[in-house]
A and B are shown apart, each in its own frame.
Chain A
C-alpha cells in the first residue's frame, strides 16, 4: 500500500523567516506525482506546488520550493520569507498513476506564523 507520512504535526516560524515541512512516502511505483496543498481556516484546499517524479530538478513557485529526494522517498516543502497569510494546514499528497489514479494524502502539518 502507498502511504504518505508527515512527521511534524505542528510547526511555527517567525514572519519573514524560512521554514521547512517534511514529507516521506512509501511506494513501489516508479512513476508518480507529488503535491503540496494548503488548507487555510476557510477550509478551501489550494495547490501550492507539484513535482513530477521523473524530473530531477526541484520545483519552485515564488517563495515555495521543494527538496525532492527520490531514492530517499522524501519531498519537503520550503517556505521562504514567511508571511502571515501562509498560516494554514499543509498536506503532502501522492498521485499514483498506474491503473486508476489514486490521490493519497499525509496527516498534515499545522503551520503558525509568529508576527
Chain B
C-alpha cells in the first residue's frame, strides 16, 4: 500500500489568511483526491487532483477557494484561501491505484486539522 505524508498535521490560522497543505506519496499513483471532514461529520470530496491539468471540483467547491496543484504523480497541494471559521475541518489527502482493471481501495493520509480563529 502507498505511504502518504501530509503536512502540516495541524494548524491554527487567522481568518482571512490562506493555508497550503501538502500531500506526498512514496510511489507514483494514478488518482489523488482531497476530502474535507467537518467536525462530527462524514468525509466530503472536495476535488480530484489531476496531474498536469486543472483539478476537477465537486459541487459546492470552487477553485478560487480551494486551489489545487498536482505537478507530478507523487505530490499534490491543497490551499484553503481567505479562511473563515467555517473552514475549520480536517482535510485529508487520498490516493487510489488501478490494479488489473479493477477498482481498489483508497489510502488516506493522516489529515490536517485546521482551526480558523
Whether chains A and B associate is: no
Measured CB to CB, the residues of B under 8 A from A are none
